[in-house]
Amino acid sequence: MQVLERTTTSAPEGRAADVAPLIVARGLTKAYDTRATVLQGIDLEIQEGERVALIGANGSGKSTLLKSLIGLHSISDGTLSCFGHPVGPEAGRAQRLRMRRQTGFVFQKHCLVRRRSVLSNVIHGLFGEPGSWRAFSHSLAPLEWRNRAMQALADVDLEHKALHRADALSGGQQQRVAIARAIVRRPRLLIADEPAASLDPLSGHNVMELFTHLCRTQGITLIYTSHDMAHAMDYADRIVALKRGKVFFDRPVTKVAPADLKDTFDD
């Protein structure tokens, strides 16, 4: 693939400084049950085009925050808006669907359908579009969806594997297929929960480089969690550190010192 060179991080070019944030959270609080509050009054604004790394110790609330920000988890208190609209029960079905269409998801376990072709797996990213049953297989999908999926595969440099079975690919290649599945909707926002955690160092590096490339070329906003501090420092514009469900620090990556990272993980 063409994106092996390590690049320096910078905000995407051409971003207007005065546009409304893509995500605004105020006093965001989340409790799964009455015994423990997992997120405690999070204030956060994320601008369009930013790459934001969420870091923190196990159980600090990174995944919960990631999923809450886009309405996959309900919040217990506070306010939250995404794409300029409120997230939560007050958002109607049409609005939730609109939000989903603008968001791509990548998780540590890519959950591809092993026996299906790579192309079909990418087309599965179009479930939720009108006529979704056609997204079941590439042979049912309209030409326009197949073309979009081939373009997404080209973006992750896997066009040549389109008709291979998903389980015939390496772990790193399968994660790139999962990224193609996430970007086939042409999302404004990509949410990635430990996207490189199950990959070897080189494949992990390639996946993070690929995110950087997609964000730069397609203007996608990226929010990802990582336990790998090199992945946080090298591929984000900004780091949000959580400690016991609160924001411990939130600053541009250029202003994060090694001591900040150490303090994040100290008890």
Ligand X SMILES: Nc1ncnc2c1ncn2[C@@H]1O[C@H](COP(=O)(O)OP(=O)(O)OP(=O)(O)O)[C@@H](O)[C@H]1O
Residues 6+ apart with CB under 8 A from 131: 142
Number of residues that bind ligand X (CB under 6 A): 10
Binding-site member from 23, 38, 149, 183 for ligand X (CB under 6 A): 38
Residues 6+ apart with CB under 8 A from 37: 29, 30, 31, 76, 245
Binding-site member from 51, 62, 138, 243 for ligand X (CB under 6 A): 62
Phi, psi angle pair for 26, to nearest 5°:
-130, 120
Q: How far is the CB of 218 from ligand X (least distance, A)?
A: 27
Task: Kindly tell me which of 69 and 177 has the beta carbon lying closer to ligand X.
Answer: 69
Task: Give the Cα separation of 161 and 138 in Å (integer).
Answer: 14
Judged by CB under 6 A, the stretch of 52-60, 99-107, 112-120, 132-140 that binds ligand X is 52-60
Residue 159 CB neighbour total at 10 angstroms: 16
Task: Kindly tell me which of 33 and 144 has the beta carbon lying closer to ligand X.
Answer: 33
Residue 32 makes contact with ligand X by CB under 6 A: yes
Residue 195 makes contact with ligand X by CB under 6 A: no
Phi, psi angle pair for 107, to nearest 5°:
-120, 170
Task: Kindly tell me which of 183 and 242 has the beta carbon lying closer to ligand X.
Answer: 242
Judged by CB under 6 A, the stretch of 61-69, 99-107, 145-153, 208-216 that binds ligand X is 61-69
Task: Give the Cα separation of 95 and 86 in Å (integer).
Answer: 9
Residue 56 makes contact with ligand X by CB under 6 A: yes
Element (H, E) at 249: strand 246-252
Q: Where does this chain bind ligand X (CB under 6 A)?
A: 32, 38, 56, 58-64
